[in-house]
Structure 1
Amino acid sequence: MASAPKQGLPILYKDLAPLNSKEHGSWKSKSVDKAPWVAKQHAIPLTVEEFPQAQRSFPIVFSAGDNPVPLALMGLNEGANVFFEEDGSPIGTPYIPAYVRRYPFLLAKLQQGSEDLSLCFDPSSDMLGDFKEGREIFDKDGKPTQHTQELLAFCQKFEEAGMKTNTFMEELTKAELLMDGEVAINRQDGQGQPFIYRGFKMVNQDKLREMRGDQLRKWNENGMLPLIFAHLFSLDLMRVIFAQQSEQGKGPSIPANAAEAAPVN
């Protein structure tokens, strides 16, 4: 059984260790067609660069709290994911967030006060190890293979996208555009009270309409305005996700009137 995540680690990661040729010189990584680590996750972090693609598959919301981040909702209830089976097999062909594709790797600072980032991995994952088959991580001279260099490049691009996402969120916060979200979805049988989903933030459309023209032109020119609309358009998918949960038997229990949609911070 997998161990519980260590405090302070991002979601999905249960532990973190630096990748190095001394300890992992003979290790290989294996390709997988299942992602059991995400099967029970209903909210996954997104970067703004992913909004155009992600909006076709998921509702895009923002986490609650003082430092909100964009989230792709793969389900509306804790532990519900309509895009993956229990064993991690994908359902259909949804967009897979970069956060999921990056796992089990991660760039992290190993020393306080240093800005240097090192390629690390989650040692609790079974995707790396001293396997007979797989893609080598280091060559015979202890240098990163082409495969490892590609993994490092992907993680670096993710970090760059993360910085752009931080700038986007700072702009939204500065403009005071985010408000507490709430969505009411009626039961399919038409009986009883609707299900109310809270615990996330969304853009306040009334305030957006009141924004100054020069500010909106600036956001249109720098690409921020289309990202805001991608978020707003995607919210219609909440009812689609709710219906998929019901079809897959992953829907909320009855009665329910305050299901939390996005508790990830």
Structure 2
Amino acid sequence: MASAPQAQLPLFYKDLMPLNSRDHAKWHARSVDRAGWVGNQHAIPLTVDEFAQAQRDFPIVFSAGDNPVPLALMGLNEGINVFFDDEGKALEDFYVPAYIRRYPFLLARLDPNSTNMSLCFDPTSDLLGEFEEGHALFDGEQATEHTQNLLQFCERFEEAGQRTQAFIDELKKHELLMDGEVSIQRNDKPDQPFIYRGFKMVNQEKLREVRGDQLRKWNESGLLPLIFAHLFSLDMMRVVFAKQSAQGKGPGAANSGDASLNAAPATN
């Protein structure tokens, strides 16, 4: 149900090019009212800095595999996004993950032997170009305030990514992540539940076994609230499932009625 983005290029990005005043002196960045690059993506990478806001709108799970990443589920099935239409227009008010807002920019290390990172962009995007409208990226050889703000946003995103990795490392260290399974039952057809697997979630049984001193450390560091934000957000799967059904998408589209949810370890 939830896979990590491909290792070659991050999700959304088809190519990368460093932004510079020599080649892009006359370029502008367009403002848009839709995120066409989201397309039909159902799982969007999320940082821990966003858990508090994101858990109100999306289920937060972790991708399967040895290197799990937090994901905001915008749909429960591949190719389904219940928050954006096919053209990327938002269907309602909700928290838009920073990963979506960052595109087409990101920080990348051009020299593998250097720790310096450069502001890059996806040249296949139609958001940047030699347009007359939009925000100028450079004023002569100097980056404009708009470009400096973009750079700061990407820097903050990278810093949040480091905090997110530390959070994941702590969960893995204490073996708190398990293969998850969610069963969504329609009240009109309780004997035909929809089963979702292919993701990781926090093992609540193991969490209850953690010693008090460790819990205090996690509470002081802010890790414990992140775990609970994730666990509380799982109930949003029922809500997302209902949105899919209402929009005529997914396996439950032909059914109607309320739904209930059960989350448990995956079984063989």
Partner of 1:128: 128
Name the aligned partner's letter for residue 101 of structure 2: R
Name the aligned partner's letter for residue 44 of structure 1: I
Partner of 1:41: 41
**1:191: how far off?**
6.6
8 A contact 1:6–1:15 mirrored in 2: no
Q: 1:132 & 1:188 partners in 2: Cα distance?
A: 56
Partner of 1:247: 246
Secondary structure at the counterpart of residue 217 of structure 2 = helix
**1:192: how far off?**
5.8
Partner of 2:106: 106
8 A contact 2:25–2:137 mirrored in 1: yes
Name the aligned partner's letter for residue 208 of structure 1: L
Partner of 1:92: 92
Name the aligned partner's letter for residue 30 of structure 2: K
8 A contact 1:6–1:14 mirrored in 2: no
Unaligned runs of 5+ in 1: 256-265
Matched ranges for 1:216-227 at <5 A? 216-227=215-226
Q: 2:149 & 2:251 partners in 1: Cα distance?
A: 41
**1:249: how far off?**
1.3
TM-score (norm 1): 0.91
8 A contact 1:29–1:134 mirrored in 2: yes
Partner of 2:68: 68
**1:70: how far off?**
0.4
Q: 2:234 & 2:100 partners in 1: Cα distance?
A: 21
Name the aligned partner's letter for residue 150 of structure 1: N
Q: 1:168 & 1:50 partners in 2: Cα distance?
A: 13
Partner of 1:19: 19
Partner of 1:174: 173
Q: 1:98 & 1:45 partners in 2: Cα distance?
A: 9
8 A contact 2:27–2:136 mirrored in 1: yes
8 A contact 2:245–2:253 mirrored in 1: no
8 A contact 2:179–2:200 mirrored in 1: yes
**1:7: how far off?**
6.7
Identify the structure with the greater strand proportion.
Answer: 2
Partner of 1:50: 50
Secondary structure at the counterpart of residue 148 of structure 1 = helix
Per-residue deviation, residues 21-73 of structure 1 (Å, max 9, x unmatched): 11111000010000111131100000001000000000000000001010000
TM-score (norm 2): 0.90
* CA distance 1:204–1:147, shift in 2 (3 Å): same
Partner of 1:154: 153
Partner of 1:231: 230
**1:254: how far off?**
8.6
Secondary structure at the counterpart of residue 224 of structure 2 = helix
8 A contact 2:246–2:253 mirrored in 1: no
Partner of 1:119: 119
8 A contact 2:244–2:252 mirrored in 1: no
Partner of 1:163: 162
Name the aligned partner's letter for residue 93 of structure 1: D
Secondary structure at the counterpart of residue 186 of structure 1 = strand
8 A contact 1:25–1:142 mirrored in 2: yes
Secondary structure at the counterpart of residue 193 of structure 1 = strand
Question: How large is the Cα RMSD of the aligned pairs?
Answer: 1.7
Name the aligned partner's letter for residue 26 of structure 1: K
Secondary structure at the counterpart of residue 87 of structure 1 = coil
8 A contact 2:58–2:233 mirrored in 1: yes
Secondary structure at the counterpart of residue 181 of structure 1 = strand
**1:188: how far off?**
5.8
Identity, in percent, stands at 68
* CA distance 1:130–1:188, shift in 2 (3 Å): farther
**1:193: how far off?**
2.6
